[in-house]
Amino acid sequence: MITLDFVKNKTYYVVGLGQSNTSAIKALKKSGADVRVWDDNVDSLKGYDDTIIRSPDKVPWSKIKAVVTAPGIPPSHDIIQTANEKNVNVICDIDLYAQSNPKSKIIGITGTNGKSTVTALTHHILNADGKAQMGGNIGVPVMDLKSRMDYTVLELSSYQLDRAPNLACDVACLLNITPDHLNWHGDMDHYVASKAKMFDGADTKIISIDDDYSKSIFEGHDHAKPLSIYAEDLPFGKHDFPKMKGPHNFQNCLAAYSICQALDIDHDVIIERIKSFEGLNHRQFLVKTINGIPYINDSKATNAEATKMALQSYNNIIWIAGGQAKDSGLEGIEDMLSSVQKAYLYGACADEFAAFLSVRGIEVQTCLTMDEAVIMAHEYAQDLRGEPSGSPTVLLSPAAASYDQYDNFEQRGDHFADRVLGLCDD
């Protein structure tokens, strides 16, 4: 656990008692801080001593050094508004980690899509000799990391970056930006600005120039290194990475390569480690092949842009999608539908998605649940074996959030995988 020498005898108000802040509370207390806690969900307060639970109207604001928030608490929340009015800093656990002055090279990775895969792949490359760790928005909370490691690879969300003013990365990488999380940020300008904060104080800046939002950030930073899959001098040649298919994974590999090159890792080592990478669960992960038909778990695709990447990667797709639609729905996915043979749609947005796809010539079937969708998609796919067009691919790529039926995308993906593993091969 990280030691926070700078917090001793100071008072911190920790708001939102999920996994990351539970670890933050332990680190703060261990380091001698005076801690107050709150969560709008009263059940989350169970197990905490009444002496440290403080509702917003009972907080000793004049004593508070900083409010440490869970990532999901939006700027519009009353506590954030009050803190701003009283000139109290609002931070997250990433900022506490940054202030701890860790003895490690910090690699920060962000982007609307792909950041988890790039974080895991970069960690896989750097951890060849066991001297790298990863955390942040993936894996363990940062407060549970080690202070002394050669490399610390952090996946960073826009929420975290918005509240980590002391973060200074040795290498910072931005993959892409498309509209997302606008309910939290309020508008696109704030979302883009939050992503850009990662480059404040960064030594090496690797920034995509393949989308207009990222390119605008690149143009505002001197000496930044451009990240582009269209560059003329790409380092891969004809290398084949079996577990990293599709143009989006090409960008992911290029990003991880660029990061590791900036850290002076040898070219051949990087290539071999990419080849040995098994991929990341819930990100176009092969669950099982049944009679030659692959079943792919892409539950992490919580918006249309992420699903667009999946639809580019396979042919003859039997597509399972649905959940809680984002504001933009399936907008932007129109040009990727030629590979879809049929769509099975479930959950809160099933009818909305069905209307969008039907008028574009896609055969659809609406379902109430994932179970129903998996069974019907499986039967349809198996009936298509031996067709001249080739075997299909069953792809779960929801293009929507999971919260209508699941706690998170991991639970959704695990449910899909469990159902697929239970299907018969006959």
Domain harbouring 412, CATH code: 3.90.190.20
Query: Using 50, 70 and 90 to split pLDDT, how confident is the model at 237?
Result: low
Q: What is the pTM of this model?
A: 0.78
d(CA 315, CA 287): 17
Answer whether residue 426 is part of any domain: no
Query: Using 50, 70 and 90 to split pLDDT, how confident is the model at 63?
Result: very high
Answer whether residue 210 is part of any domain: yes
3-state secondary structure of 88: coil
Q: Is 248's pLDDT higher than 80?
A: no
| Count, residues in the chain | 426
d(CA 97, CA 357): 45
Answer whether residue 145 is part of any domain: yes
| Whether residue 296 sits in one domain with residue 270 | no
Answer whether residue 227 is part of any domain: yes
d(CA 159, CA 18): 15
Q: What is the CATH number of the domain that holds 143?
A: 3.40.1190.10
| Whether residue 360 sits in one domain with residue 318 | yes
Answer whether residue 280 is part of any domain: no
Average pLDDT over residues 54-66: 95
Q: Is 406's pLDDT higher than 80?
A: yes
| Whether residue 393 sits in one domain with residue 291 | yes
pLDDT of residue 424: 75
Q: What is the mean pLDDT of the chain?
A: 92
Q: Is 24's pLDDT higher than 80?
A: yes
| Whether residue 295 sits in one domain with residue 240 | no
Q: Which structural domain, as residue segments, surrounds residue 34?
A: 6-91
Question: Which tokens sit at 98?
Answer: 């940054």
| Whether residue 160 sits in one domain with residue 17 | no
Last residue of a domain, one of 61, 91, 121: 91
Residue among 52, 126, 42, 135 nearest 96 (CA): 135
- Report for 138-152, 199-213, 285-299: range of highest mean pLDDT: 199-213
Answer whether residue 1 is part of any domain: no
| Whether residue 363 sits in one domain with residue 256 | no
Radius of gyration of the chain (CA): 23
Average pLDDT over residues 142-147: 93
pLDDT of residue 239: 65
Which residue would you say has higher pLDDT here, 350 or 137? 350
| Whether residue 364 sits in one domain with residue 257 | no
Query: Using 50, 70 and 90 to split pLDDT, how confident is the model at 388?
Result: low
Strands 393-396 and 293-297, sheet pairing: parallel
d(CA 191, CA 178): 10
At residue 39, what are phi and psi to the nearest 5 degrees?
-150, 135
| Whether residue 176 sits in one domain with residue 57 | no
At residue 208, what are phi and psi to the nearest 5 degrees?
-65, 145
Residue 64: how many other CB atoms lie within 10 Å: 19
d(CA 192, CA 198): 11
Average pLDDT over residues 257-276: 94
| Range in 178-182, 305-309, 347-351 the model is least confident about | 178-182
| Whether residue 164 sits in one domain with residue 30 | no
Share of the chain above pLDDT 70, in %: 97
Residue among 119, 212, 95 nearest 173 (CA): 119
Q: Is 136's pLDDT higher than 70?
A: yes
| Whether residue 410 sits in one domain with residue 324 | yes
Question: Which tokens sit at 264?
Answer: 């002076």
| Whether residue 156 sits in one domain with residue 40 | no
| Whether residue 414 sits in one domain with residue 295 | yes
Q: Is 333's pLDDT higher than 80?
A: yes
Query: Using 50, 70 and 90 to split pLDDT, how confident is the model at 331?
Result: very high
Q: What is the pLDDT of residues 72-129, one digit of tens each?
A: 899 999 999 999 999 999 999 999 999 999 999 999 999 988 898 999 999 999 998 8
Last residue of a domain, one of 64, 91, 118: 91
Under DSSP, the state recorded for 140 is: B
Last residue of a domain, one of 256, 275, 294: 275
How many domains would you assign to the chain? 3
Answer whether residue 299 is part of any domain: yes
Looking up tokens 């577990």 gives 243
Answer whether residue 55 is part of any domain: yes
